[in-house]
Structure 1
Amino acid sequence: MDGEVVRGQRPLRLGRRVFAPAELVVMAIVNRTPDSFFDRGATYGEAEALAAVDRAVADGAGIIDVGGVKAAPGEEVDAAEELRRIGGFVAAIRARHADVVISVDTWRAEVGRVVAGEGADLLNDAWGGVDPDLAAVAAAQDIGLVCTHAGHLPPRTRPHRMTYDDVVADIVTTTVGLAERAVALGVRPDAILVDPGHDFGKNSRHSLEATRRLPEMTATGWPVLVAMSNKDFVGETLDTGVDGRLEGTLAATAVSAWLGARVFRAHQVAATVRALRMVSTIRGDTDLAVARRGVV
């Protein structure tokens, strides 16, 4: 396939990197939180977090996504505490890895402004534009923005009996609206991604439907990011706890890649990179890493 014209999409330009439309990119999760649902605080300390960044880059991640507040309800984390956790850390990553794309998972404009000054290339707004000034920060700093469907809920809110006339129609309308607003504010179109927001403002059936109907998002022309790693919709599908969700996560990742998603937020980077390489090779976008069978 011609990487410049795959499915009518444009290259994605973030920081020093240009990702072609056919390129499948892993966004590694590094949480500077003591209470994250998956790693349970394993990368709360700066040394541990920097080591996790180094491993993720070595394993093939193209984007590092740093978060200072867990998505679920819990202890209050104000902007000052969020910045205590991640302020300075972005600069430390940039000093170690000049070319990696650094994303920061935040919904607050004041946090976005600080981390942009430290070298962040992307603001991952997982809560659907609740702070309308965040997009303006991305525009002013000439960095990227993730526009997410979070069910129109306040940050750190669990969904309860959520209903939609058509969940995918709501996802498309919301994320495209956020993307178009960002462009109007001055964010570069080639630095914007849309995210269906698996589990955010959704029950597990909603998340599964968003996955199987992903082509309705890719048809908008905006590059699609999926954040499915070890989430509850995987656990409820397989009836397994957090530690038993890797296979389900990789299956959902492979399906989403085949359906046109381009960026994949992941805890287990090496396994995700391998799964995506398999998808990419099956569809003809990459070649074999080695060719011995029937040749030598």
Structure 2
Amino acid sequence: MTLRTIGQRSFDFDRQVAVMAVINRTPDSFYDEGATFALDRAVSAALAAAADGADWIDVGGVPFGRGPVVTTEEEIDRVAPFVAEVARHSDVVISVDTNRARVARAAIDAGAAVINDTSGLGDPEMAAVIADSDASIVLTHSVGPWREEKPAARFEDVVGEVKTFLEARVERALAAGIPRERLILDPGHDLDKNTLHTLELTRRYGELQSLGLPLLAAVSNKDFVGESIDRPKHERLSGSLAAMVVCILNGARVVRMHNVAESVDAVRMTEAILGWRAPVRLEHNTHPTRNV
């Protein structure tokens, strides 16, 4: 993994974790319920997240879960102006959460450095769009079409099946001409999985390191956290941070989080404990005591 250049920033994923802030340009977003749907509010939230230490901003124009149809043109109108405006003011990495190749193309043209594809190349044109650009892509495990009601989640071995899926998507990406150094993998916490599946995926997250690519963990405020500790979505910060740290200890190098300042602190503390980051200052018990 070692050094990766993504957009205008470089990351040493052997010793560094990137914090990805979540911005939703949707009126029906799961967590913020439309608070950043307006363009000006979304841009302000993104720049505030960067000021709070986020390395990366991830914007979505369509929620993953079921809901009303959003056309490709509407999705482009939601994300492309946002990307252009944030890129004008900051060197933060910008990714666009989309499953559509046309949206990805428009986002990259506007300045996005990453496409966060929660369908794992579900659009047959997506790989070609990425290959024809300098953008990286997050390949995510999910099952079946997005925005639709699906049957109850069933896996014989959730981690084994996720690994097999991701391996196949990596091969598809490479065959399309996307360089390996532009691939990032996300096992898809809660995406078409129930809480027991996601807890097992989190517990066995380290097994995904054998795929040999940077891993992303998107655990923030998700239902597996709420169901595990019986908390509504706006009271899941502590549980989300615990899940995030477990994933980092088991190989995650990008973490997708809503509460940026708290997440950055937890990530930097984890890096310090692991010996990857020196303390900002060193004062405690460093001076000889005065003899009286």
Q: Which structure has the larger Rg?
A: 2
Instruction: Specify the alignment match of 1:90 in structure 2.
Output: 83
1:20-75 residue CA offsets vs partner (Å, 9 max, x unmatched): 12210001101101111111111111111111011111111111101000111111
Instruction: Specify the alignment match of 1:40 in structure 2.
Output: 33
For structure 2, the residue ranges without an aligned partner over 5 or more in a row are 288-292
2:20 to 11, 27, 43: 27
Offset at residue 217 of structure 1 (A): 0.8
Instruction: Specify the alignment match of 2:255 in structure 1.
Output: 264
Give the secondary structure class of the aligned counterpart of 1:88. helix
User: Could you tell me the percent identity over the aligned residues?
Assistant: 43
1:110-153 residue CA offsets vs partner (Å, 9 max, x unmatched): 10111111111000001222102112111101210011111x21
Q: CA RMSD in A?
A: 1.2
Instruction: Specify the alignment match of 2:119 in structure 1.
Output: 127
Instruction: Specify the alignment match of 2:290 in structure 1.
Output: none
Amino acid at match of 2:70: V
Matched, 1:221 2:212: yes
For structure 1, the residue ranges without an aligned partner over 5 or more in a row are 1-8
1:190-209 residue CA offsets vs partner (Å, 9 max, x unmatched): 12100010111100011011
Offset at residue 159 of structure 1 (A): 4.9
1:239-276 residue CA offsets vs partner (Å, 9 max, x unmatched): 11101100000000111111110000011111111111
2:165 to 161, 174, 180: 174
| Aligned residues of 1:11 and 1:190 also touching (Cα < 8 A) | no
| Aligned residues of 1:147 and 1:193 also touching (Cα < 8 A) | yes
Instruction: Specify the alignment match of 1:184 in structure 2.
Output: 175
| More divergent stretch after superposition (211-220 vs 241-250) | 211-220
Offset at residue 188 of structure 1 (A): 2.1
Instruction: Specify the alignment match of 1:62 in structure 2.
Output: 55
Offset at residue 91 of structure 1 (A): 0.8
List aligned pairs for 1:140-155, cutoff 5 A. 140-150=132-142, 152-155=143-146
| More divergent stretch after superposition (191-200 vs 155-164) | 155-164
Amino acid at match of 1:246: L
Aligned length: 286
Alpha-carbon spacing, 1:158–1:23, altered in 2? closer, same or farther (3 Å): farther
Alpha-carbon spacing, 1:119–1:19, altered in 2? closer, same or farther (3 Å): same
Offset at residue 78 of structure 1 (A): 1.2
Give the secondary structure class of the aligned counterpart of 2:263. helix
- Provide the TM-score with structure 1 as the length reference: 0.94
Instruction: Specify the alignment match of 1:4 in structure 2.
Output: none
| Aligned residues of 1:107 and 1:130 also touching (Cα < 8 A) | yes
